[in-house]
Structure 1
């Protein structure tokens, strides 16, 4: 009797453990659906030939992605998600690893390695319009990327990294990203005119980085990009910075819906007209806070003047002098004397000694975007005053 009681107890325990295991097992199909709920807002979709689950690891076997406007899907191979947990109807994932990319078609090949995301959060509901309804990841990484044409490398990057930081009070996120070691080989360009320009400007080999840093405050929808820079050796550094308000999750969703309508309408001309009207309506919600464009020269200006001057039969200095003389005449058409003087002074100083050129728009208080559009259409000469436009050089 003891033997039978023990056996029944063991079988009962096994059944209970089996039931508990199945009850708490991850639902791979639901996870993929939640991912597509997010990605689908951009008009894309992800599919898989199969879904394997091993404890907290979910693998999408033979995954493919189809982006908005694409007729064919792109193979991604296997996508491995480690540390997956269901949370409040959504999911958290410790790390997502993508298979290395090795794509070759018509003599062009693309390869990419070490692609991963860390600290991923998949929302349960994408319609709430708060921080919890957005796809979030703490960091993203890509290793070496290479593009070759006819067995010769024409473009590559050493690697790329991006991070996001969710604020403790859930008011928004801070983000930054950087692409390192961007290299492009333009020496094999076939077009004679383009080749001549590339050689004159010494752009046969391009080497640089791209970086971005900013924040998004969800409530007022304020996007503040403090840096979006392109920094290339022996060329220069172009940095864009701007701040707008009104770009809330609800605004983003409305834009996505408008784009979906365009893509689904077989009459593209009609769709584009409808989308234009929709965008004008959405722009009513945006406010312009500030913007800044700055270029720090690293010798490209001198080469550009020499090349352009040669095309006109003059030296680079002579072309610079001509541009300095023409600037006040062109600016006079705007009928804004203060801006005319500032631009002329900045251009003169920059062409004499190219260091930096900066254009700043900083109104005394935020300006609704419709007011800017109205000024541009009705009184373009008022734009500098409306947005607080200033130009300076070598500062």
Structure 2
């Protein structure tokens, strides 16, 4: 009885493996085909020399990328490994981890290196022509390790790490995103122009260090893009932060922009292509609506150094230059014929120059403003823009 039982188990196992094999087999070529279909509107094409599948791992060798703007020139990527690959319900693919080779490129006197480049949670759609968030290429995380840029053998820029994340909202309504570039360092000591070099040295900008951060969200149905923060923060300089909120950037809008760009890139008549592109953009921006925006600078001693430097060139002290600017600003603003804004700017500038801490320019209209209305005001009555957009200028708040 025992041999017969073992035989039945072996036959059952063979049958299971035979039936399950095709269901779990991955088609690496199909994965790349669908990736290219998703990127087609942007004009990018991924090519490879060979594809190998081992379980849930797909390895692409000799990968290169071409763009419609330069079809005869391919950027060589190298070997790319995709791990944890599985087919999605929508006919596409989900890739747990994508590992790209290190970058080491030299062109003329400039050399660029980048290490530890990875993408996590890559989703490749089965139907890129669909109208949902699941029909575009998305990733859950992306990052890179050290990045360096050298010119003539000397390192002029470096970054310790970059990280970006996308998180889907409930019911696939959209996604939240954030990104950080940390450990940024720039060496400006090799600037050759004499005047620029003198300014850099006297302003204490020979070396810069800091980080860049970004955070926001995108809602698919309304096309609302809320860029909560896009900031650059450098030691002994300051922090410059931008926020922007607008609507109308839907999937349809995004695809229309991509198609217009692709058409322009593939048109050999560049003058005609630029004209067509301009007309397309004029039509598309009619769909956008401005909600709010702000630009804020938090000083970290750079303002005083700038005043001292410019003042020295004019034969005065930094404090004397600041007092001179206080008198000039109202006169300059008076020419714009915006009395309310003139008073705000004068008050803010006076406060900031007396004790440089922060300076903020914000625009928050009472209700969303269609972009064509803003363009119309700019061409017909530019002095009305501050009131149309609800512009405010404040300092040290």
- In the other structure, the counterpart of 1:74 is 75
Q: CA deviation at 1:17?
A: 4.3
- Matched with 2:276 is 274
Aligned to 2:38: 38
Alignment of 1:133-212 (within 5 A): 133-212=135-214
2:390 maps to which residue? 388
The separation in 1 between residues aligned to 2:60 and 2:195, in whole angstroms, is 48
Q: Match for residue 48 of structure 2?
A: 48
Matches within 5 A, 1:299-314: 299-314=301-316
Aligned to 2:321: 319
Deviations, residues 317-362 of structure 1 (Å, cap 9, x unaligned): 2222222111111111221211100001111111121110000100
The equivalent residue for 1:86 is 87
In the TM superposition, residue 15 of structure 1 has moved relative to its aligned partner by 8.7
Q: Return 214-223 or 312-321, whichever deviates more.
A: 312-321
TM-score, normalised relative to structure 1: 0.94
The residue aligned with 2:369 is 367
Q: Report the Cα offset of residue 27 of structure 1.
A: 1.0
Give the structure 2 partner of residue 343 of structure 1.
345
Deviations 1:7-47 (A, max 9, x none): 9x989986984575246421111100111122232221211
Q: Distance in 2 between matches of 1:228 and 1:204?
A: 24
Q: Measure, in 1, the Cα distance between the counterparts of 2:46 and 2:325.
A: 53
What's the CA shift string for 1:95-125, capped at 9, x where partnerless? 1111111222323221111111111111111
Kept in 1: contact 2:69–2:266 (CA 8 A): no
Please list, as runs of the form range in 1=range in 2, the aligned pairs for 1:218-237 lying within 5 A after superposition.
218-237=220-239
SS at match of 2:87: strand
Q: Secondary structure, in 3 states, of the residue corresponding to 1:174?
A: strand
Moved more, 364-373 or 259-268: 259-268
Q: What SS is found at the alignment partner of 1:179? A: strand
Deviates more, 1:122-131 or 1:317-326: 317-326
Q: CA deviation at 1:291?
A: 0.3
**8 Å contact from structure 2 (residues 338, 383) kept in 1:** yes
Distance 2:355 2:392 in 1: 20
Structure 2 unaligned blocks of 5 or more? none
Q: Which residue among 97, 100, 103 is the counterpart of 1:101? A: 103
Once residues 75 and 156 of structure 1 are traced to their aligned partners in structure 2, the CA distance between those partners, rounded to angstroms, is: 23
| Residue number among 362, 378, 381 corresponding to 2:380 in the alignment | 378
Deviations 1:274-329 (CA, angstroms, capped at 9, x unpaired): 11111111111000000010000111111112222233333222222222111111
Aligned-partner Cα distance in 1 for 2:228–2:15: 59
Identify unmatched segments of 5+ residues in structure 1: none
What does 1:53-68 align with in structure 2 at a 5 Å threshold?
Answer: 53-68=53-68
CA distance in 2, matches of 1:265, 1:98: 32
Contact 2:240 2:298 in 1 (8 A): yes
How many residues were matched structurally? 391
